[in-house]
């Protein structure tokens, strides 16, 4: 691949994210550079769902309805009580953002353990990563949401 093409690919698939003041102080820099991650890689960062969540699932659900049914079961399962298994599952779910940011960081390169040290300051980086990777939608501008619709 010619250098110009590689440079264009790099530029199109990475972006700078402005850090919160707390993260900037911890990292001694104002921004980090992240690259896109694929939906399949992001999905693999999640822990496996507990097998019991799928018990009693109707067989002929459409994919969207199936996902909604599983999500409702998961929320109910997590709220039932705080057993060690459920706490481990919650912690594993929380660690997805740290793994994703570590995977996406171009500059500076950081391990998952180093990213975890940022604590809650990693959340804005994670959200920027999800938006840049097109894994979540960008929010609608406030002006567009408040404009009256024509009658």
Domain boundaries, the chain: 11-137
- Alpha carbon distance 69, 71 (integer Å): 5
Give pLDDT tens digits for 35-52. 999 999 999 999 998 877
At residue 19, the pLDDT reads 97
Q: Has residue 7 got a pLDDT over 80?
A: no
Strands 31-35 and 14-18: antiparallel
Give pLDDT tens digits for 63-104. 888 888 888 888 888 888 788 888 888 899 999 999 999 999
- Alpha carbon distance 17, 19 (integer Å): 6
At residue 3, the pLDDT reads 58
4 confidence band (pLDDT: 50, 70, 90): low
- Strand spans (E) along 24-64: 31-35
At residue 141, the pLDDT reads 58
Compute the CA torsion angle 42, 71, 47, 119 (nearest 10 deg): 70
Q: Has residue 149 got a pLDDT over 60?
A: no
Alpha helices by DSSP H, listed for the chain, are: 3-12, 21-27, 39-44, 63-80, 84-94, 96-104, 112-116, 123-132, 142-146
At residue 51, the pLDDT reads 76
Q: Has residue 26 got a pLDDT over 90?
A: yes
């Amino acid at each position: 691949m010619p250098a110009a093409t590689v440079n264009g690919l790099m530029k199109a698939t990475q972006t700078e994210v402005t850090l919160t003041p707390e993260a900037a102080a911890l990292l001694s820099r104002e921004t980090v550079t992240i690259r896109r991650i694929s939906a399949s890689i992001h999905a693999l960062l999640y822990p496996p769902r507990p097998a019991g969540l799928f018990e009693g699932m109707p067989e002929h659900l459409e994919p969207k309805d199936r996902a909604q049914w599983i999500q409702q079961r998961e929320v109910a399962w997590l709220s039932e009580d705080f057993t060690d298994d459920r706490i481990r599952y919650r912690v594993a779910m929380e660690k997805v953002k740290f793994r994703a940011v570590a995977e996406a960081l171009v500059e500076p390169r950081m391990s998952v353990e180093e990213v975890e040290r940022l604590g809650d300051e990693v959340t804005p980086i994670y959200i920027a990563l999800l938006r840049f990777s097109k894994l979540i939608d960008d929010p609608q501008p406030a002006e567009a949401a408040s404009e009256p619709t024509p009658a």
